[in-house]
Amino acid sequence: MSRETLLKRLQDRSALVGVIGLGYVGLPLAVEFAEAGFNVVGVDPLTGKVERLNKGESYIPDVPTERVAKLVEAGRLRASTSYDDLREADAVLICVPTPLRKTKDPDMSYIYQATDALAKVVHKDMVIVLESTTYPGTTEEVIVPRLTGDNGLKVGEDVFIAFSPERVDPGNKKYGTHNTPKVVGGVTEACREVVVTLYSAAIEKVIPVSSPKTAEMVKLLENTFRAVNIGLVNEMAIMCDKLGVNVWEVIEAAATKPFGFMAFYPGPGLGGHCIPIDPLYLSWKLKALNYNARFIELASEINTSMPYYVVDKIADALNDDGKAVRGSKVAVLGVAYKKDIDDVRESPALDIIHLLREKGAEVSYHDPFIPSIRLDGGVMHSVDLTPEWLAEADCAVLVTDHTAFDWQWLLDHTDLLVDTRNATRGYSGKARVVGL
């Protein structure tokens, strides 16, 4: 086959598209390409996901099962645990996790494992795109050598390699994979042409940039922008508290400025597997270049201090009722890392519960999306949201402002509520409400 043939197969959608990693990024992407008319094979090491997908079931809330079922039935979409199923693939999209190690430096193990397995089936006229958020330089320093090092394949002639950052916002009803502009950076001009053709077949708007490193940096700017602004507004909350000013009113009024301002909101801390983590990939890379990314470090410091700040608020509120934290019953409302989703990764609620227990409080939680959590070597189960459960609590804490919560009902059924999201603004009931 030649590059021209590959381009033709991408244009007429006769190409076979492979997706490695069928999580909150990979599954929506696989569905998007299948709905665009391609045959898609997803590869994931977790047999549970593979079995459910092959039964036509979705396990990602943002992807309705009906969409998956239709594609599986039509033979457009299938999943496997074996990389052998990628032997015939013309395009492969790598969507594996890029977490941090305990030492807060990048854990590249998933990228290494996926790339080394792919290297065993890579062939001439294949296009490979890394979508996982990573430090600038990964595509050219890690992916290219591992895919072309000892098989004589040349990037830009035999294989076409690029970086294209995922931009999934879990729970976002307005923007999904199809209508979120896709930034792409090819290793060579020929790679760029192939990868633009690939994504243009399934995604509304494709934005080519000059290199993979540029595309890697675009993603890190996007998420560092959020982490730093959330850190700023969390510090604003601390300063307003000391000044006796309502930070939420300040932000609401500042947001009336029709230009040059973008509202962010304080909270119990920074959760999710992206915003707290991605900027540290950038600061880690710069440390190797003897540069200290001060905004990133400071934002991370402030954001990770918020769970401690919330626990201090709870302790002070109990103290005002003449109670110690030790022996008090605390009811936590919401543990997901943000509202209306079922993900607890890096959720500040886990830190808040851990810290309260360390101080001797008896903690239980209710979250309509999270039936159970693993914490401190044990398992906690979500309790039913009943008047009795709230009445028993010495303090209730709102950590995740799920839309399903009835704020008036909550205020009428508890005596003390620490509201870390300003969700009960405009409501009043018997509860004494303490904000951030």
Shorter beta-carbon distance to ligand SAJ: residue 170 or 208: 170
| Cβ proximity of 91 and 84 under 8 Å | no
Shorter beta-carbon distance to ligand SAJ: residue 148 or 223: 223
* CB 167, min distance to ligand SAJ, A: 4
* CB 274, min distance to ligand SAJ, A: 3
Shorter beta-carbon distance to ligand SAJ: residue 18 or 266: 266
Q: Site residues (CB under 6 A) for ligand SAJ?
A: 133, 166-170, 223, 226, 230, 264-265, 267, 270-272, 274-275, 337-338
Which of 82, 146, 135 lies closest to 108, judged by CA? 135
Shorter beta-carbon distance to ligand SAJ: residue 213 or 226: 226
Per-position b or e across 290-305, b if 16+ CB within 10 A of its CB: eeebeebeebbebbbe
* CB 25, min distance to ligand SAJ, A: 7
* CB 338, min distance to ligand SAJ, A: 4
Apex 303 CA angle, 280 and 427, nearest 5: 145
Indicate the helix (H) or strand (E) that contains 351.
Answer: helix 348-358
Which of 25, 77, 47 lies closest to 274, judged by CA? 25
Indicate the helix (H) or strand (E) that contains 160.
Answer: strand 159-163
* CB 222, min distance to ligand SAJ, A: 6
Shorter beta-carbon distance to ligand SAJ: residue 28 or 42: 28
What would the DSSP string read from start to end of 219-250?
HHHHHHHHHHHHHHHHHHHHHHHHHT--HHHH
Cα–Cα distances in Å, from 336 out to 9, 300, 380, 385?
42, 20, 14, 16
Question: Angle between the 47-54 and 65-73 helix axes, to the nearest 10 degrees?
Answer: 70
What would the DSSP string read from start to end of 286-342?
HHTTT---HHHHHHHHHHHHHHHHHHHHHHHHHHHTT--STT-EEEEE--SSSTT--
Amino acid symbol at 295:
F
Which 3 state secondary structure label does DSSP give 106? strand
Shorter beta-carbon distance to ligand SAJ: residue 133 or 328: 133
274 among known catalytic residues? yes
Q: Which residue among 95, 191, 240, 274 is the active-site one?
A: 274
Which of 184, 178, 74, 82 lies closest to 127, judged by CA? 184
Active site residues: 274
